[in-house]
Amino acid sequence: MSEVEVVRAAFSGWDRPADVDPASLTEDERRAVVSQLIDSSFDAGFHPDVEYREDPDFPGAGTHRGLEEVKACFREYAEILRFDDSHVEAVVDAGDQVVAILHIAARPGASSEPVVHRWAYLCRVRDGKVAFFQAYLDPRKAFEAAGVEEPAS
């Protein structure tokens, strides 16, 4: 599997199953679905020694190391942001790195309507799994960091 395919598969694991309607779930059911998605996608697609860096522009940004610490971070995001869904828009080869663009829908706070944001992740692969990923609120910054042009949409 190419590095682009590895990254696409890892982030595609975040997609909500097609047979799950978030509007029909209780809050406890939603938490259980999201927790299961986090566990299964990270266990399958991310290296045990993965390093995740939050966007440096994000208030209180930090670095998380190791699969369990990274999963705990994403569980915390899921609790605060109430994730609804995500899907991979594009995965771009950037030499020894890969840029993944995702659309992530969340319902922060008491919001009843999802807010969709286009996130970017600059990734490196080792042993057939994502071993490093850096989040970017602005996808252009991920492409700049990778030293490649953002493809035209």
Q: 122: which strand partners?
A: 99, 134
Single pTM value for the model: 0.88
pLDDT band at 59 (very low <50, low <70, confident <90, very high): confident
What is the C-alpha separation between 118 and 139, in angstroms, rounded? Answer: 7
Residue 8 resides in a domain: yes
Q: 144: which strand partners?
A: none
pLDDT band at 16 (very low <50, low <70, confident <90, very high): low
Residue 42 resides in a domain: yes
Residue 62 resides in a domain: yes
pLDDT tens column, 90-130: 999 999 999 999 988 777 676 677 777 899 999 999 999 99
CATH of the domain at 91: 3.10.450.50
Residue 145 resides in a domain: no
Residues of the domain holding 89: 3-140
pLDDT at 31 over 90: no
How many domains does the chain divide into? Answer: 1
Residue 152 resides in a domain: no
